[in-house]
Chain A
Amino acid sequence: MAIFNLKKREIECKVVYYGPGRCGKTTNLEYIFGAYKKQVKGEMVSINTEGDRTLFFDFLPIGLGQIRGCNVRVQLYTVPGQVKYSSTRKLVLRGVDGIVFVADSLEVRREKNMLSLKDLQANLKEYGKSIFKVPLIMQYNKRDLADQGIPLMSIEQMERDLNRQLKAPSFSASAVRGDGVGATLKECLKVTLQSLQREFQWAR
């Protein structure tokens, strides 16, 4: 739920990284925190449980500077992927403006990806939002593991599993190496701001 301050010409919006447990959501934010120093506007806050799994959320504020005469600030969040933290996921998703769905390329996580996407759809519906209309980007993460001979799904298969109907922009990534992390975020910010622009007509 973006906050507009027309007098100060400021926008603050919310982007949430969603996906199954251990798919690399927190790793995405950690990479952004380290690599985009100029944009990062504060500390990254992580509230974790056993084994560095996210318990509540990660939070990272970034700033994009002036866009069409407006100062744009973005709050990046991750949700906890573990199935049992369902109510926290819902809470963190509230008021979301744009979503990055991080899917795990490991073959053994195929079903978990699909379940998590379904969970996202259900939670959005609770807030009266449609997964087809919300700004959404797909990220196929952990592509680097192919080098070590670990069975990964092909991009085609992941598109079929997860993106056949949604047709969201999608990116391959390796969050540990940082590959594709920036491209994913940039595209997400682009579609999110376009959607807010349509909704609020703030420019000019």
Chain B
Amino acid sequence: MDIKQRLKALLQEAEIYRTQGLISEAHDKYKSAADLIHSINKLKNKESLLKAVSEKIRALDSTKEKVDKGAETPELSKKAQDLIKNLFAFSENTDADSAALEGAVALAKFGQFDRAVVELNELLQKEAVRVEAAKNILRCHLASATVDEAISQYHEWFSGDQFQPQQLEAVRIYLDEILQKRGLTMDLPSAQTAEAALLEETAVEAETIVEAEEEFLDITSIGITFDKGPRKGKMVEFDVNFQSGNMLSLIISKQEKEVLEHLAEGMKLQDVQFFSPIAIFNGAGVVASKTQIKAGPKQGDYCLDIRIVSS
């Protein structure tokens, strides 16, 4: 092909990729075009052509930056939120309150924390879902705001009279565990006297075990024992940032290079300790996915999904 035609074809290709939003592909083609322009000796308008191409490349770079950053999770219209509630609450034939709980959790999953918290707060009035609603409110606070907010929320519940003592205690244990894992020791006031606590503990334990058969326990952190590499035989503990059923999401700092290298997608972890507020159990897991976080305060860190499997 004649060199000028080749240049024309390259520029056309680049332009189509650009209009399709294929930024890095367009970028590459414009780069090749620039190289080609450099290499043609007797080209009139050489300078202006080069200038135009580098202008295009600059514009692509700035688009790329915007796309990589992505919009912050937007606050959606009420209509869109209603749709999410309808479409992503999955259980069939459950009672109205459990369905409402699921709808509110669906909102939280899509980052609609404000409305999720409003709806979860309403569900606190329902005896049967109160504790789950409370835990999810704390999750929303932890995901969207600060630890302080979660703590002051607990204090508010503590001073109110909406919760039964053992319900409040379940919530306290849950929050306490999360805080401890984050290296914070807060003396959260407990709704139970020592004596009553002892009785309750056994009761709560029995209850959770029943629950665990249908549903997974709330897992606040997991310990992974490495079977090779420099940390062979050592257990490393990670916080669980999000849980849905048997899927746990962890955020691992980019600094943890060895750990990240070791934990490959699809890898089976034979020896895992799961820490829940009430019980610790051993089991196995599979690294379901490993994604680098592209935006926000945790940019560069990794999000690991680990699925609990029966060992």
Write the residues of chain A forming the contact surface with B, with a CB cutoff of 8 angstroms: 1, 3, 21-22, 45, 47, 49-53, 55-56, 59, 75, 82-84, 86-88, 91, 94-95, 106, 108-109, 122, 126, 145, 148-151
Tell me whether A149 and B22 are in contact in the complex, defined as CB-CB below 8 angstroms, given that A49-B70, A50-B70 are known contacts. no
* In the complex, B291 has a CB within 8 A of chain A: yes
B80 CB to nearest A CB, Å: 6
Cα distance, A51 to B63, chains bound together (Å)? 9
A59 CB to nearest B CB, Å: 7
Cα distance, A185 to B1, chains bound together (Å)? 41
Q: Is the CB of A22 within 8 A of B288?
A: no
* In the complex, B67 has a CB within 8 A of chain A: yes
* In the complex, B157 has a CB within 8 A of chain A: no
A199 CB to nearest B CB, Å: 16
* In the complex, B4 has a CB within 8 A of chain A: no
Q: Is the CB of A55 within 8 A of B80?
A: no
Residue of A51, A108, A122, A149 touching B12 (CB-CB under 8 A): A149
Tell me whether A84 and B288 are in contact in the complex, defined as CB-CB below 8 angstroms, given that A50-B71, A108-B25 are known contacts. no
Residue of B84, B88, B291 touching A84 (CB-CB under 8 A): B291
Interface centre among A45, A53, A59 (most CB of B within 10 A): A45
Q: Is the CB of A150 within 8 A of B13?
A: yes
With a CB–CB cut-off of 8 A, which chain B residues contact A51? Answer: 21, 63, 66-67
Residue of A45, A83, A106 touching B291 (CB-CB under 8 A): A83
What would be 21 A-B contacts, judged by CB atoms less than 8 Å apart?
A21-B21, A22-B21, A47-B76, A47-B80, A49-B70, A50-B66, A50-B67, A52-B21, A55-B70, A59-B87, A84-B291, A86-B291, A87-B291, A87-B305, A91-B110, A94-B88, A108-B28, A122-B266, A145-B16, A149-B12, A150-B12
Tell me whether A91 and B76 are in contact in the complex, defined as CB-CB below 8 angstroms, given that A84-B295, A108-B22, A126-B288 are known contacts. no
With a CB–CB cut-off of 8 A, which chain A residues contact B70? Answer: 49-50, 55, 84
Q: Is the CB of A87 within 8 A of B249?
A: yes
Residue of A47, A91, A122, A148 touching B109 (CB-CB under 8 A): A91
Q: Which secondary structure dominates where chain B touches chain A?
A: mixed
* In the complex, B172 has a CB within 8 A of chain A: no
Q: Is the CB of A106 within 8 A of B22?
A: yes
Cα distance, A56 to B303, chains bound together (Å)? 18
B281 CB to nearest A CB, Å: 22
Cα distance, A86 to B249, chains bound together (Å)? 12
Besides the contacts A51-B67, A84-B292, A91-B88, what 9 more A-B pairs have beta carbons closer than 8 Å? A47-B80, A49-B70, A50-B67, A84-B295, A86-B289, A86-B291, A87-B291, A94-B90, A106-B22
Cα distance, A86 to B132, chains bound together (Å)? 26
With a CB–CB cut-off of 8 A, which chain B residues contact A87? Answer: 249, 291, 303, 305
With a CB–CB cut-off of 8 A, which chain A residues contact B17? Answer: 106, 108
Tell me whether A45 and B288 are in contact in the complex, defined as CB-CB below 8 angstroms, given that A1-B90, A51-B66 are known contacts. no
A33 CB to nearest B CB, Å: 16
Cα distance, A149 to B295, chains bound together (Å)? 36
With a CB–CB cut-off of 8 A, which chain A residues contact B266? Answer: 122
Cα distance, A48 to B36, chains bound together (Å)? 37
* In the complex, B307 has a CB within 8 A of chain A: yes
* In the complex, B38 has a CB within 8 A of chain A: no
B216 CB to nearest A CB, Å: 14
Cα distance, A45 to B77, chains bound together (Å)? 11
Tell me whether A45 and B80 are in contact in the complex, defined as CB-CB below 8 angstroms, given that A50-B66, A84-B295 are known contacts. yes
* In the complex, B48 has a CB within 8 A of chain A: no
A155 CB to nearest B CB, Å: 20
Q: Is the CB of B13 within 8 A of A151?
A: yes
With a CB–CB cut-off of 8 A, which chain A residues contact B71? Answer: 49-50, 55
* In the complex, B46 has a CB within 8 A of chain A: no
Q: Is the CB of A126 within 8 A of B247?
A: yes
With a CB–CB cut-off of 8 A, which chain A residues contact B28? Answer: 108
Tell me whether A56 and B110 are in contact in the complex, defined as CB-CB below 8 angstroms, given that A91-B88, A150-B13 are known contacts. yes
Cα distance, A47 to B12, chains bound together (Å)? 31
User: CB within 8 Å of A: which of B67-111?
Assistant: 67, 69-71, 74, 76, 79-80, 83-84, 87-88, 90, 92, 109-110
Cα distance, A47 to B76, chains bound together (Å)? 8
Q: Is the CB of A109 within 8 A of B22?
A: yes
Cα distance, A50 to B83, chains bound together (Å)? 22
